[in-house]
Structure 1
Amino acid sequence: MFLHTPRVAIVHEWLEHFAGSERVVEQLLLLYPQAELFAVMDFLPKEERKFLNGKKVNTSFVQKLPFSRKFFRHYLGLMPLAVEQWDFTGFDIIISSHHAVAKGVITGPDQLHVCYVHSPMRYAWDMQTTYLRQSGLQSGLKSLYLRWLLHRLRNVDVRTASGVDVFIANSNYIARRIRKVWRRHATTIYPPVDVENFALSTNPRKDYIVVSRMVPYKRVDLIVSAFCRIPDRNLIVVGAGTEYDKIAALAGSAPNIKLAGRLPQEEMVRAIQGARAFVFAAEEDFGIAMVEAQACGTPVIAYGRGGALDIVNTSKDKPTGVLFDEQTPEAIIEAIHEFERQESLITTHNCCENALKFSATAFRTHIKAIVEKSYDQLFSDNATLEI
């Protein structure tokens, strides 16, 4: 236990929109309201700043570089240097929210550095080839430069892992990634999901639904292609993005597929509450949308990789959905048939109960426990931390 109120710093990569990683920062600030907040840059629009409660954000020199508001990702190569320039003298605990460079802050032997990892840099590690291909950068001078930059970032990424005392992963999948690229153990604490705003509904359920940004890796195209082949099942597609026209062309004039576009929050929740099952074909580090569906009492049919393995319970005891092994329309169709065979066993109550372990309250409880335990160990006779 703390003998005095610890001075806490929270480090985040960049503040651009209020999304998944910002929800983690929101809960950390609720847990440590006295903490100081650091970010490489802060371009949050006014209407999305409520979760900061007026707190000042300490930014880096990248904030002031030319055109940084629009092109700040072009400065990725400078960001490891930027986070090393902050002075954390006088802080007891530093908590970094990491998916790129945040864990690279410099701390001393009497400071506890806890790193909550959304993911190691996917585009610098096992997803490099996919990233270059999707960006059309498989050859040429720009491709050569990016390959060199990603090589540098990998070296920095491995080096800065040694400055972290305790790693926390947002899923068991990310814990395995951490072990692979940094050779470090990580404790899994699921990210906070606003399950309270996705209430259980007992209304009749009829159609299948997918809610997703329409970008390539989400694989909404596979789901639409699958339902084109089973015209006696209806699919509602909610979302927008760069793939929208492609998805619309795939759906064509199929009467069983409805493209609803981007819906207001309340309408989206009602659509999920009225769905027979939520279909998800992406490989995600976690997958908040699946938890939101479960909170509504909606079963999930998902690709069985990544965070879906943590979220969807497929055991005989209180099952909440079905997983499929391949990202193909055929595998999705078979999973739908399997779900319909098991549908009587997958209850709305089980789905809703399953979602509670991903609540914001559960997140804060687990984070508080691991920080206090780690801080005690840091100053014990045995100074080796292995949480």
Structure 2
Amino acid sequence: MKVAIVHDWSVGYAGSERVVEQLIALFPQADLYFVADFLPASDRAFLAGRTPATTFIQRLPWAHSRVRQYLPLMPLAVETIDLSGYDVILSSSHAVAKGVLTAPGQTHICYCHTPLRYAWDLQHEYLRTTGITGGIRRAAALAVLHYLRLWDVRTAHGVDRFIANSGFIAERIRRVYGRDSIVVHPPVDTEYFTVAEDKRDYYFTASRLVPYKRIGLLLETFRLLPGRRLVIAGDGPELSRFRREAPPNVELLGAVSRSSLRQMMQQARAFVFAAEEDFGIVLAESQACGTPAVCYGRGGALDIVLEDESGVFFRQPTPQSLRQAVLQFESRKTRWDPHSIRRNAERFSIQAFREGFLRVVESAGLISPVLQPSRVGT
């Protein structure tokens, strides 16, 4: 049985790359295809020494730094990937990977991180970040994004099984594509992010500093909570602005090492999470460290956090709503149990991901010599 793994573009080791890493572990003889591969040498270990085949997007001018600006060409690019010699196609898709061309007799299983987010939920952010804010360029971009939505829906018919990374995305797949899906949560390294009971008196978050992560909301909230300290780890285009605007009780660290990230998660009083994410691996990692959460009660957070057992939710994306949630968190009469919070996070382990993915493979009637039981737990 010949297997191909297809992925969107990669510029770093993030959530979708963790899924690809596990697919490689489960299907070590599979061939890899990326729309574009701009991974730095420091982030390539998950490929296990493999070099993905790429499309013409790889060779376009400035694609290394502006790959998202070539989104209108990516449907054409992914359709140029020749998969005619494969029995099984596994796509890891947050944009266009699920749109590969398949034929009768092939089985296509798509792990969907989200329907094409730049054409649906994040259309306006995509226009802002690419500098398309008005005039003829904006009108043309809106027309292209409309085409992308039509293409996205049409190509969903080429998928035999959809896997969603959360209940939130399963509902989005149902709404956008009219298809059912099976939820298999992304793999979280619960062996590395371990529980700690030594909690200190600070709140913590880790995030890429881009608009939809709502870091500005955290700054304004903790301006209303001058007696509490917030520490923010992460880099991004808004770091300098946030450092200028942050109140004295908020510290922005910039990029930190993985070991430092784990230690800060373990020792934080609570992990604060304001974004509406498809899943939110960093939130699950903090739960694996036994750290309770104060998080926005929408999106993938509803799959991760158990209300009043591993954290509290705020319902409106406003400083007042988040401030009230922090006060509610602090007023809890019983101690937050880090070991109970840790047990909640073990649902998202690498082992759980592999077993869940293989159940979908088996439900599609696929049997492969590479899927030996001895490999599942490795």
Alignment correspondent of 2:288: 295
Deviation at 1:123, TM superposition (A): 2.2
Deviation at 1:191, TM superposition (A): 0.6
Q: How many residues align?
A: 367
CA contact (8 A) 1:118 1:174 kept: yes
Relative to structure 1, the CA distance from residue 198 to residue 326 in structure 2 (aligned partners, 3 Å threshold; closer, same or farther) is same
Asked if 1:251 is matched to 2:246, the reply is: yes
Relative to structure 1, the CA distance from residue 279 to residue 138 in structure 2 (aligned partners, 3 Å threshold; closer, same or farther) is same
Whole-angstrom distance in 2 between the partners of 1:147 and 1:107: 29
Given candidates 344, 365, 371, the residue that maps to 2:355 is 365
| Worse-matched range after superposition: 366-375 or 120-129 | 120-129
Alignment correspondent of 2:179: 184
Question: Sequence identity, in percent?
Answer: 49
Asked if 1:33 is matched to 2:28, the reply is: yes
CA contact (8 A) 1:225 1:250 kept: no
Alignment correspondent of 1:333: 323
The correspondence of residues 109-128 of structure 1 with structure 2, limited to 5 A, is 109-128=104-123
The secondary structure found in structure 1 opposite 2:228 is: coil
Asked if 1:197 is matched to 2:192, the reply is: yes
Relative to structure 1, the CA distance from residue 86 to residue 243 in structure 2 (aligned partners, 3 Å threshold; closer, same or farther) is closer
The secondary structure found in structure 1 opposite 2:196 is: coil
Alignment correspondent of 1:305: 298
Deviation at 1:223, TM superposition (A): 1.4
Q: What 5-or-longer segments of structure 1 have no aligned partner?
A: 1-5, 378-387
The secondary structure found in structure 2 opposite 1:38 is: strand
CA contact (8 A) 1:175 1:188 kept: yes
Deviation at 1:127, TM superposition (A): 3.1
The secondary structure found in structure 2 opposite 1:96 is: strand
Q: Which amino acid aligns with 1:290?
A: L
How big is each residue's C-alpha offset from its partner over 1:76-99, in whole Å with a ceiling of 9 and x where there is no partner? 222212222222233221110111
Asked if 1:262 is matched to 2:233, the reply is: no
Deviation at 1:330, TM superposition (A): 0.8
Relative to structure 1, the CA distance from residue 343 to residue 320 in structure 2 (aligned partners, 3 Å threshold; closer, same or farther) is farther
Asked if 1:154 is matched to 2:149, the reply is: yes
Q: Which amino acid aligns with 2:242?
A: I
Q: Which amino acid aligns with 1:126?
A: D
Asked if 1:281 is matched to 2:271, the reply is: no
Q: What 5-or-longer segments of structure 2 have no aligned partner?
A: 368-378
CA contact (8 A) 2:95 2:118 kept: no
How big is each residue's C-alpha offset from its partner over 1:344-367, in whole Å with a ceiling of 9 and x where there is no partner? 253101111111111111101110
How big is each residue's C-alpha offset from its partner over 1:321-375, in whole Å with a ceiling of 9 and x where there is no partner? 0000011111111101111222625310111111111111110111011111112
Given candidates 147, 164, 169, the residue that maps to 1:169 is 164
Whole-angstrom distance in 2 between the partners of 1:175 and 1:56: 31
| Worse-matched range after superposition: 121-130 or 164-173 | 121-130
Alignment correspondent of 1:383: none
Whole-angstrom distance in 2 between the partners of 1:264 and 1:85: 38
The correspondence of residues 47-196 of structure 1 with structure 2, limited to 5 A, is 47-132=42-127, 137-196=132-191
Alignment correspondent of 2:226: 231
Relative to structure 1, the CA distance from residue 54 to residue 135 in structure 2 (aligned partners, 3 Å threshold; closer, same or farther) is closer
The secondary structure found in structure 2 opposite 1:209 is: strand
The correspondence of residues 337-348 of structure 1 with structure 2, limited to 5 A, is 337-342=327-332, 344-348=334-338
Relative to structure 1, the CA distance from residue 263 to residue 301 in structure 2 (aligned partners, 3 Å threshold; closer, same or farther) is same
